[in-house]
Chains A and B, each alone.
Chain A
């Protein structure tokens, strides 16, 4: 009897495993629980000791209220949104480029943001006109514009969004070029160097409620189209030709998703500087623990990324308090360790 002839029993085999739904739900619940825990913890962690912070919660006064509700809470919520945007952007990048090593900054946006900030810092120094212009934009605006300009340059260089390989290559080229220009500029004005370092290593210290508002709005605006297009990413994972034959419009998919990627990355870079590894690790963590299709990934990765950056922010505030580590250094350490463990486990398998 050939294997293609079905037995009666086969007709009753399930198409979709019964427990995937419940595993995913459990995972989502865990993420949300961790987020709430971290948020609560962040009210207690900062420059004051735990006892003092607890005291502030129970007996608030004017100054401690400011610290708790104007500084600590928006900082942790803002970090969550920033991490969520990075997780989303990373998942999108890995899906569009079908490369598990893709991360949000792969179109040169990090270098572009750094160049934007450098130019604005130098302009402020150079002339009064430059000062006014730089002041209006602020570091946030300059970083955002720099990131967008770099991505636009990448797309121009690769002449459109259709060829994945040339997009990736163009992104690398742009990143190197803009980095070089930034370094040259910094050489001429070394006092700007320390401010640049702070930006390059990420900084969640100044997230206010208005930052939270901006990040939140951008998050919703980015999440919705991404989730709607998630099945297209599934189809794309079978190959470009197959996806096209299924009726998928590759240009629409790519343009929309790359637009979302750019918006998410540029906004985040403007608010918290360059924070690495969250965008790379969050989708991996989701895939390792819960193994999903793209719709579930595009929801799970932001949740994971948000919690990750929240945790990193707490660590950066706690470890050498009242001084602070740059949050990007924390994510790099944690992310690096995670990738080493991943590599080790993979080698052990083989």
Chain B
């Protein structure tokens, strides 16, 4: 059996019915979020469609995490609305919403459960409080762990795993929800470059292959530039939302990072470098 086929077969979920979709899976209108007197997001309107991997980029403090949390319904916006599949987030019943929208936190709590138990918690929205494990739950867990390559340590406790191994388990947990919308806050933390690339590939496959609406906040620009679309946030709000080419054409990144970065293309791949290198080039 071809490895790739095995992987594809194992990783394909009982596909959520996201194939024939209205184009905007997740959208926000006039979203304003502040902490105390500080306004972090001011009147942001976005439409994020399924089947793409969208990366949220911007300098520190521009509100990447805040935007994701607001889109996930974890923070109440001061003004504006977030809609999932056309319906306002608040109007969704809690469990239904949890089945369709999965969230990966930036910092996870340390727990002493086994890796498989953690991934199993992703099925909470499906199986509920009583935790009666059904075969479809087990299958979903296995698929998710295979996809992130964390199956070898399924029976080990989280506290015995390394940072990178734990991160992959947490990613598997998110995948196990088999939601149509997946929001990830810094999914590549603790991972070394090869694994970062693996995860990027996984996110792209999930978005393209399974029609998931994949949104992630990534601070590594080169990795973010491998996504399909970008949401670029700057110090004063949303700078642009579009494909990577549109972002480059519009110089969004230079605007966001206040001309401290340069984007170059090298063998079909976009890379960033600090703008001060330009002086030595000449």
CB of B142 within 8 A of CB of A238, answer no
A10 touches B152 (CB 8 A): yes
The number of residue pairs between A and B whose CB atoms lie closer than 8 Å in the complex comes to: 128
Are A4 and B151 in contact, CB atoms less than 8 angstroms apart?
no
Task: Tell me whether B130 is interfacial, beta carbon within 8 Å.
Answer: yes
Beta-carbon contact of A2 and B194 below 8 Å = yes
Say yes or no: B154 contacts A13, CB within 8 Å: yes
A234 at the interface (CB under 8 A from B): yes
Among the interface residues A10, A17, A232, A291, which one has the most CB atoms of the partner chain B within 10 A? A10
Contact of A246 with B124 in the complex, beta carbons under 8 Å:
yes
Majority secondary structure of chain A interface residues (helix, strand, loop or mixed): loop
Q: Is B129 part of the contact surface with A, judged by Cβ < 8 Å?
A: yes
CB-CB under 8 A for A291 and B112, given A8-B1, A11-B6, A246-B122: yes
B4 and A241 contacting across the interface, CB-CB below 8 Å:
no
Q: A3-B195, A238-B108, A295-B131 are in contact. Are A246 and B98 (CB under 8 A)?
A: yes
Which of B30-38, B52-60, B99-107, B246-254 binds A? B99-107
A287 to B159, CA, bound (A): 13
Give the B interface residue count (CB, 8 A).
58
Across-interface contacts of B129 in A (CB, < 8 A): 228-229, 231-232
Residues of chain A within 8 A (CB-CB) of B73 are 245
B47 to chain A, nearest CB (A): 22
Q: Are A235 and B124 in contact (CB under 8 A)?
A: yes
Interface-side segment among B113-121, B207-215, B257-265: B113-121
Q: Is the interface of B mostly helix, strand, loop or mixed?
A: helix
Q: How far is the CB of B164 from chain A (nearest CB, A)?
A: 10
How distant is the Cα of A249 from the Cα of B129 in the complex, in angstroms?
11
Rounded to whole angstroms, the CA-CA distance of A247 and B105 in the bound complex is: 15
Nearest CB in chain A: distance from B215 CB, A? 13
Q: Which of B6, B95, B113, B198 sits near A293, CB closer than 8 Å?
A: B113
- For A249, list chain B residues within 8 Å (CB): 94
Is B148's CB within 8 Å of the partner chain A?
yes
Q: B105: which A residues are within 8 A, CB to CB?
A: 238-239, 241-242
Contact of A6 (CB < 8 Å), options: B7, B102, B155, B157: B7
Indicate if A58 sits at the interface (CB-CB under 8 A).
no
B107 and A239 contact, CB distance less than 8 A: yes
Docked pose: A334 CA to B116 CA in angstroms: 36
What is the 8 Å Cβ interface bit string for chain A, positions 1-41, against chain B (1 contact, 0 not)? 11111111011011111000000000000000000000000
* Bound-state Cα–Cα, A13 to B116, Å: 11
Binding site for A on B (CB under 8 A): 1, 3-4, 6-7, 10, 69, 72-74, 94-95, 97-99, 101-105, 107-109, 111-114, 116-118, 121-122, 124-125, 129-131, 138, 141-142, 145-149, 151-152, 154-155, 157, 170, 173, 177, 194-195, 198, 201-202
Since A2-B194, A247-B125 are in contact, a sample of 17 more A-B pairs with Cβ atoms closer than 8 Å, ordered by chain A residue number, is: A4-B7, A4-B149, A6-B146, A11-B10, A11-B142, A15-B145, A16-B155, A231-B129, A231-B131, A235-B121, A237-B112, A241-B103, A244-B74, A246-B125, A247-B124, A287-B112, A293-B113
